[in-house]
Homo-oligomer: A and B are copies of this chain.
Amino acid sequence: MRRTKEEAEKTRVAILASAERLFLEKGVAHTSLDQIARDAGVTRGAIYWHFQNKAHLFNDMLNQVRLPPEQLIERLCICNQREPLQELYDLFVEALASLGHNEQRLRIFTILLHRCEFTDELREAEERHNAFIELIIELSEKLLASVSDRLQPGVTPRLAALALHGMAVGLFTDWTRNPSLYDPDRDPPLLLDTLFNGLIRDWRSSPLPDCLA
């Protein structure tokens, strides 16, 4: 019965894929480990071998798509080489657009936003998630503070950071709720432009330079 290491890795991947499917379809709490195991063609023993429990399985699934904090810090903090505001803008546009281009990201974020409840079972995952969010807000705030002279009158860096993250989360939520509402290529830059126009003075004189004809 014992498999070689690469075969074991294949069952691990299969378990993750089945969990993703079933979590999306039935929700995290309403999916049992036995259902996941059956779907993956194994038994619960295999799951308990590869993952400590359901919460860890959930976490490992999330880590497939959540970019590591170091990468985020690198982009938003060490952005001396480029225009900081453009870097911030690009980051959020890319994050949004990725929902339209990477189906696994779409599925996993749908699970995260609509198919799971953060309770003591997933407390650890929730805390990591919250820490990640507050990191984004904090880094955005610092970046915006460094160019505070370009903010619209009455807009503080903190307020701008909250607005920016709020809008991103909301668009993620709405997008995953109903993907057909959005055009993954056209809408992200347009939506972010409108907000940046409200945050940054003279963000863009023309609505779009000439990115798309």
Contacts of A68 in B (CB 8 A): none
Q: Who on chain B is nearest to A190 by CB?
A: B159
Query: Considering only CB atoms and an 8 Å cut-off, how many residues of chain A contact the other chain?
Result: 53
Give chain B nearest CB distance to A138 CB in angstroms: 11
Are the CB atoms of B114 and A115 closer together than 8 Å? no
Q: Once the chains bind, are B198 and A154 in contact (CB under 8 Å)?
A: no
Q: A29-B29, A117-B114, A165-B170 are in contact. Are A154 and B190 (CB under 8 A)?
A: yes
Task: Kindly list 11 other residue pairs between chains A and B, CB separation below 8 angstroms, not including A30-B121, A162-B174, A194-B195.
Answer: A30-B117, A115-B117, A154-B190, A154-B206, A154-B207, A159-B194, A162-B181, A162-B182, A162-B187, A169-B169, A193-B198
A11 on the interface (CB 8 Å rule)?
A: no
| Interface membership of chain A positions 103-144, coded 1 if the CB is closer than 8 angstroms to chain B and 0 otherwise | 000000000001111111100000000100110010000000
For A150-191 the 0/1 string (1 means CB < 8 A from B) is: 001111000110110111111111100110011000010011
